[in-house]
Amino acid sequence: MIFSSELIKGTMKTIVLKLLADNKKMYGYEITQRVKQLTMDKIQITEGALYPTLHALESEGLLTTETEYIGKRVRKYYSLSPSGKTRTKEKVIEIADFMETMQILLDIKPRTA
């Protein structure tokens, strides 16, 4: 099952931020592949969605970039800025809280891990 896109709306930024928090630096294509792998293909971040998001986060000052050349190919690495780290924590907490609220509202029992 691939989740309908409207569910992913609103979580894109947080997913990207969280991955960068766990991995120090990543480049765009790597992010799409990592999400695909971590979610067992349930969430597919397309490049048309990712790159605008990365640019938006960068212009908000949450990300910094460094460019590397792999042969002749450009690779653009993204990392969290200090404010990016703070914001990531806030956003993860917000989603966690939101999901608890939704579980009550939709009467979903969380699995005991």
Partner DNA sequence: CAAAAATACATAAGAATCCAATGTATTTAG
Partner DNA sequence: CTAAATACATTGGATTCTTATGTATTTTTG
Contact residues for DNA, defined by CB under 7 A:
5-6, 8-13, 27-30, 33, 45-49, 51-56, 70-76
86 touches which of DNA, a second copy, none (CB within 5 to 8 A by kind)?
none
Enumerate residues 21-40 that contact a second copy by CB under 8 A.
22, 35, 38-39
Q: How far apart are CA 75 and CA 45, in angstroms?
A: 18
Residue span binding a second copy (CB under 8 A) among the ranges 5-13, 44-52, 57-65, 76-84: 5-13
Instruction: Establish if 56 lies at the interface with a second copy (CB under 8 A).
Output: no
Say if CB 9 and CB 35 are below 8 A apart.
no
Decide: is 111 part of the binding site for a second copy (CB under 8 A).
yes
Helix crossing, 12-23 with 28-38: angle to 10°?
100
How far is the C-alpha of 84 from the C-alpha of 94, rounded, in Å? 15
Residues 6+ apart with CB under 8 A from 61: 81, 83, 84
Binding site for a second copy (CB under 8 A): 1, 3-4, 6-11, 14-15, 18, 22, 35, 38-39, 42-43, 92, 94-113
